[in-house]
Structure 1
Amino acid sequence: MRTTAVLSRDPAAAFSIEDVEIDEPRGGEILVRIAAAGICHTDLVTRRAGAADRPILLGHEGAGVVAAVGPEVRAVRPGDHVVLTFRHCGECATCVDGRPAYCQRSVALNQFGRRAHEGARVSREGVPVLDGFFGQSSFAGYALTTEDNTIVVDPALDLAVAAPFGCGFQTGAGAVLNVLRPTAGAWLAVFGAGAVGMAALLAARSVEGVRVVVVETSAARRELALELGAEAALDPAEGPTVPRLRALTGGGVTHAIDTTGVPAVLGDAVAALATGATVVAVGLGAGTPPVDVGDIVLRGKTIRGCLEGDSVPSTFLPHLLGLYAEGRFPVDRLIGRYPHTEVDAALADQRAGRVVKPVLTW
């Protein structure tokens, strides 16, 4: 199948729009005609760390329509509308325990995982393209996926809206609904109001009586957070956030989520917690956060890591999409649509804060 793709040939250069060949589905593979794919921070980080001597095909928030399936596929049919998410083996101890985001084969399956059959999945003029990112590499008009990362959805859904549910929206919302589980009267602090942080805000607002305060450097995103229901939006440039959070909440937040991956920010999140409260860290960063161990112990605080919202995508994504259909998870305000040929404009708008979640369309 010949189609166009957004390729990275050099981490220091711009993406390029090129024609590629996608192989037919074999064994348990599924060929999806991609309608839309969200751009996630993980794509950009992986691109910078990727090889510079060959084309790399990224994309892990794809959505589209099934075009064909391999002979071993049972649960997905041609014509199904689908959202693509992360891969998991379904057989290891963590998968069996209902925690597929921590699959023991996660790296092998999601970081440009190898094909089980001979022949390249994607090639460019006969040269294999590095693909298989999150089992999809969906920055192309077609993608080869598998049943474990392909979720069938309502065909009435707008696929450009549905695409980011596969990673970014799932991560933020899951951290709140699956891990923190705030109830009426709770105060949630969201550090970083990108796509993940905004999804956390919207998820918290879907629970009656939960109040949210956002800590964010971008004035445009602080304003949007207030429009989406945040009680307050703090600019860290205006002074230390911890005393302001304690004053606002009457002693400390009951729940917090750090989406930034910045050690100092996670340290602030811990310091702002009330007694017995929990902060969930979802941002991938490096370094050691400055935390007071005595404060953690004496006040019973918890720091908890979280991947992909601790979700089971086959059940959690339909739940989130149901909230969206009911008007209780209005992510439309976060999304900007761009033809895939305008990927540079999409990235520029994201960097400038003009859009929270850019989505490429085919």
Structure 2
Amino acid sequence: MQALAAVARTPQGEFSLETITIDGPKAGEVLVKVEAVGICHTDLAARDGALPVSLPAVFGHEGCGVVEAVGAGVTKVAPGDRVGITFASCGSCPSCLADSPSYCHNFMHLNYDGVRADGTGPLSGGDEAITGFFFGQSSFATYSLALERNVVKVPADLPAEIIAPIGCGIQTGAGAVMRSLACRAGSALLVAGAGSVGLAAVMAAAVRDCATIIVVEPHASRRALALELGATHALDPAAGPVAEQVRAVVPGGVDCAIDTSGIPAVIDSLVKSMTFHGKLGLIGVPANPEAALPLTVIETLVLGITVIGIIEGDSDPDEFIPELIELFRAGRFPIDKLVTTFPFTKINDAVTAQHHGEVLKPVLVHE
């Protein structure tokens, strides 16, 4: 069938709105009519060559829509079901069997290679192959071909623009607090960066009843929003050394810290803000893939710090996405305060607005 898609053809280039051909679902696959899709920095990083995805390609990995058709053997969902679409995993490797699908041994192939096990791809434009199956979905389009494992049935009565961003960024930030670091009630948490991922971590920390929730963020508007969403303190890094500012609030240091920046100097300031047996969670992807941790062996030994790399918030989407939806319904996890909607055809305007810091989480909706 045909679909309208935002095709990436050149690194740093604008997305091109094109009519493409998309396969019907084969065994284990699900065709979804997309209602909304979030824009994540990972989409742009992949377009620009930071991830091993061949161009031209259709990105998008925070989709939400209605199942149009299913392939042979699919039992999890049926046509007419509303689904959120998240990352892909195989379901049979040691990590998947241990309920850790974000560390699937086949993660790179399923999320970046864009082909099935038989080498075929789902998308084309005329005689030209177009890379699809990005994060098992490629949802920057009117239709998305996904896998049974990476669709999650969701309520039909919630706005699609609320459900869509849970699929990656929101569950990553929330999962970092509620899963990866398992922050305790009464503990102190420090979050570097108040983008959508960092603010999802703030909201999750409020849900976990952390006593002190400190955000470090250079933009005043984002610091204000962090305080509205549950942060107890919002620090401007330009006001002085971050560790000194943090220890003015928590003299002994924080129990947990999360970095969403990927900047070694920022990570160093988090380490210097931590207490003994603190846990440091790393989410941000560095601009330089050779970037190293600014953590000495002595610091590690003396403080007993645990460093945890975090992918998708250690989420099992079938369990965690419904949990976050219920928290939203209960008024305890206000995703709507992060989201700004754009018509799908204005994808390049949405990317520009995000780049300039005018919006936190742009979500494209189909009119």
TM-score normalized by the length of structure 2: 0.95
**Is the 1:61–1:138 contact (alpha carbons within 8 Å) kept by the matching residues of 2?**
yes
Question: Unpaired segments of 5 or more residues in structure 1?
Answer: none
Partners of 1:245 and 1:80 lie apart in 2 by 47
1:339 to 343, 348, 356: 343
SS at match of 1:297: helix
Tell me what 2:47 maps to: 47
SS at match of 2:31: strand
Task: Tell me which amino acid in the other structure corresponds to 1:345.
Answer: D
User: CA 1:118–1:249 in structure 2 vs 1: closer, same or farther (change >3 Å)?
Assistant: closer
Q: Give the RMSD, CA atoms, in angstroms.
A: 1.6
**Is the 1:220–1:353 contact (alpha carbons within 8 Å) kept by the matching residues of 2?**
no
**Is the 1:34–1:143 contact (alpha carbons within 8 Å) kept by the matching residues of 2?**
yes
1:313 to 306, 310, 317: 317
Tell me what 1:35 maps to: 35
Task: Tell me which amino acid in the other structure corresponds to 1:140.
Answer: A
**1:155 correspondence with 2:156:** yes
**1:256 correspondence with 2:253:** no
Tell me what 2:17 maps to: 17
Task: Tell me which amino acid in the other structure corresponds to 2:112.
Answer: Q
Task: Tell me which amino acid in the other structure corresponds to 1:63.
Answer: C
**Is the 2:38–2:164 contact (alpha carbons within 8 Å) kept by the matching residues of 1?**
yes
Tell me what 2:8 maps to: 8
Tell me by how many angstroms 1:304 deviates.
1.1
User: CA 1:94–1:120 in structure 2 vs 1: closer, same or farther (change >3 Å)?
Assistant: closer
Report the more deviating stretch, 107-116 or 160-169.
Answer: 107-116
Partners of 2:67 and 2:156 lie apart in 1 by 11
Tell me by how many angstroms 1:236 deviates.
1.1
SS at match of 1:143: strand
Partners of 1:320 and 1:76 lie apart in 2 by 20
Tell me what 1:124 maps to: 125
Partners of 1:116 and 1:33 lie apart in 2 by 24
Tell me by how many angstroms 1:177 deviates.
0.2
Task: Tell me which amino acid in the other structure corresponds to 2:103.
Answer: Y
**Is the 1:214–1:233 contact (alpha carbons within 8 Å) kept by the matching residues of 2?**
yes
Counterpart mapping for 1:97-246 below 5 A: 97-116=98-117, 120-246=121-247
- CA distances 1:102-144 after superposition (whole Å, capped 9, x unpaired): 1111111110331246864111123221111011000000011
Task: Tell me which amino acid in the other structure corresponds to 1:308.
Answer: E
Tell me what 1:355 maps to: 359
Percent identity at matched positions?
44
- CA distances 1:189-231 after superposition (whole Å, capped 9, x unpaired): 0001111101000111112353211011222211211121211
Report the more deviating stretch, 352-361 or 289-298.
Answer: 289-298
Partners of 2:252 and 2:53 lie apart in 1 by 50
**Is the 2:54–2:131 contact (alpha carbons within 8 Å) kept by the matching residues of 1?**
no
**Is the 1:10–1:53 contact (alpha carbons within 8 Å) kept by the matching residues of 2?**
no
Partners of 1:51 and 1:207 lie apart in 2 by 36
SS at match of 2:48: helix
Tell me what 2:297 maps to: 293
**Is the 2:33–2:67 contact (alpha carbons within 8 Å) kept by the matching residues of 1?**
yes
Tell me what 2:63 maps to: 62
Tell me by how many angstroms 1:51 deviates.
8.6
Task: Tell me which amino acid in the other structure corresponds to 1:35.
Answer: E
**Is the 1:26–1:117 contact (alpha carbons within 8 Å) kept by the matching residues of 2?**
no
Report the more deviating stretch, 306-315 or 49-58.
Answer: 49-58
Where has structure 1 moved over 6 Å in runs of 4 or more?
50-53
- CA distances 1:270-328 after superposition (whole Å, capped 9, x unpaired): 11111111111111223113223222211222111111101111111111111111111
Partners of 2:5 and 2:191 lie apart in 1 by 35
SS at match of 1:111: helix
User: CA 1:190–1:209 in structure 2 vs 1: closer, same or farther (change >3 Å)?
Assistant: closer
Partners of 1:22 and 1:53 lie apart in 2 by 17
- CA distances 1:68-121 after superposition (whole Å, capped 9, x unpaired): 111221111000100001111111111111111111111111103312468641
Task: Tell me which amino acid in the other structure corresponds to 2:313.
Answer: G
Partners of 1:139 and 1:103 lie apart in 2 by 24
Task: Tell me which amino acid in the other structure corresponds to 1:48.
Answer: D
SS at match of 2:156: coil
**Is the 2:254–2:274 contact (alpha carbons within 8 Å) kept by the matching residues of 1?**
yes
Query: Aligned residues, how many?
Result: 362
Task: Tell me which amino acid in the other structure corresponds to 2:362.
Answer: P
Task: Tell me which amino acid in the other structure corresponds to 2:35.
Answer: A
Tell me what 1:90 maps to: 91
**Is the 1:205–1:211 contact (alpha carbons within 8 Å) kept by the matching residues of 2?**
no
Task: Tell me which amino acid in the other structure corresponds to 1:153.
Answer: V
TM-score normalized by the length of structure 1: 0.96
Task: Tell me which amino acid in the other structure corresponds to 1:312.
Answer: D
Question: Unpaired segments of 5 or more residues in structure 2?
Answer: none
Report the more deviating stretch, 27-36 or 108-117.
Answer: 108-117
SS at match of 1:21: strand
Tell me by how many angstroms 1:352 deviates.
2.2
